[in-house]
Structure 1
Amino acid sequence: MATDPSKRPGPEQVAIFLMSVGEGAAADVLKHMGPKEVQKIGTAMASLERVSRTDIDYVLKRFSETAMEHTSLGIGAEDYVRSVLNSALGEDKASGLIDRILLGRNSKGLEALKWLDPRAIAEMIRHEHPQIVAIVLSHLDADQAAETLSYLPDRMQSDIVLRIATLDGVQPAALHELDEILERQLSGKNTAKSSMVGGVKTAADILNFMDASQSTNVMSGVTQVDEDLGERIQELMFVFESLVDVDDRGIQTLLREISTDSLVLALKGADDALKDKIFKNMSKRAAEMLREDLEAKGPVRLSDVEGAQKEILAVARRLSESGDIVLGGAGGEQMV
């Protein structure tokens, strides 16, 4: 069971923050601490296990709120938080997170959506302008956005994904329009900066959580409108076949987390390269038994195969978020 981030002891929260900002920034912070504090935080760092994206988001959000309460006189709180987190995380990594934190301070409507059933969200936004739908989905977690998108009319789906992929900022006027949809009050100062939402990676993440047939149809529609954009989205999508690019240790870790029944069903729709990758990372006896199970398995429905593959991909993403494996391929980060 996942640990509630707010229940973690203070030293663990500090350890998560420092491990998130990189070695250089962490070292600079530790220089200003006493021996006992450094010992406590160092011990917490060494004992941290299964740190989730939720843990990191919580700690960074708490830091931003604390920083805004103690901002030096004469410095705008928002600019201060942006400056500090950009310096700590780098502009590319920090931009989306910073805007989510700053926008989230007063965006009760968007936060409330995350507690709703995807079908209810779809009903709420299906008659809105596609650009507004794209902004709403960009603020949801990828799996919730994918399910919400699946409940929207087929004719809308490709257009919405296209808009998500090309979003690069939301002006205050657009946030006011979103405010009307959600019937909640959002921050919309005239001096507010654009909030970074959407983008090609967001579109790819959403499509990864959709059923294969739906994802294929949406991508076909996107590619017809903009072939180059379609290729860029495809490059960032991590599909079941992409597991062939995960390193051997990662495959072994993944195999320990999934059932044999799910694996057999998923591999019924896999190519030989991926099957060989799986066999290679099992004991000789286990590989032989898996081959026998595959041969003995009769015809199965495509929807069942896709369901098993989706289940395994969900485990792979969870392991990736906790740092236990690295998802390789076009969408993965290079290791140096």
Structure 2
Amino acid sequence: MNAIMTTPEPPELKKFSGLQRAAALLLVLGKEHGAPIWQQLSVDEVKELSATMAQLGRLPSGAVEHLLVQFTSEIHSMASLHGSYETTERLLSEIMPSDKVREVMEDIRGPSGRTMWDKLSNVSETVLASYLKNEYPQTVAVILSKLKPDHAARVLAELPREIGVDVVHRMLRMDTVQKEVIQEVESTLRTEFMTNLSRAQRRDPHESMADVFNCMDRSTEESMLSALDERAPESAERIRALMFTFEDLMNLLPAAIATIVRKADKRSMALALKGAPEEMRELFFSGMTQRAAKLMRDDMASMGPVRARDCEEAQTALVRLAKSLSDSGEIVLVDPRNDDAVIL
């Protein structure tokens, strides 16, 4: 196959930004060929490209031809096409300002949904309530009024009682909210909440490997990390910092412990606590009713001597359960790297 020849870039194109070139190319492609591309764009991207297109002015035919040839040449030279967050970010960086690229990428990495309120509906009520409890009650009332009733109800149930009652009272007295107020709330949610949420959801290979190590028994974990210390000490240190261990469960909030107690296999939990320090046992007993705690103690006593390996495996199972509940948004884990931060 003959290579597609390219000509020197016309002077008229040298002053065109990446965004202007993209707008010109879409204008040239027209409805028939450009429609599939337009359909993949977000509303904001359509607005931005449309505004740029409307201000392009006259573009000589030579410049138009060069754009098409350049586009065809780039497609022709591709052996294959791989779409990923990284390739998408690289492409957007060539046609948008850096702040816009950052906003788009954080948006698509975050919960799915066309509007901010759709996205919030895909955020766990526990995570959302954890953020909202620090906001002014009137702002919380505005946000909850925009959510679906079932989701708003679950968020209210997660808020401290006094805050929840105050928010309900304000929602009852709330008149039609001005459009400017809604836009300001959306902007705050996007910059303060969704941005942090999407950043928390980014994962690097060390995080994935830490999850793998969390599922190993203690002896295998220690053996592998010791070997990694010799070959890649920085990676070993990073994995250790990212691992969530049985001991880290001590940092969880009472509500998270209660959720784990409710979801865990009772026999496995008794075995895990059998080999745990008394402080850890009391923490889990505090998440049960008095009767359930007594039954758990009786179960542990009736086990008699147990193998340390069996206790460790049961403790690993509790850690896996905690991570699973965190991934689904049912609980929030305290990040062992930072006492003030949380991971989702």
TM-score, normalisation: structure 2? 0.42
Larger Rg: 2
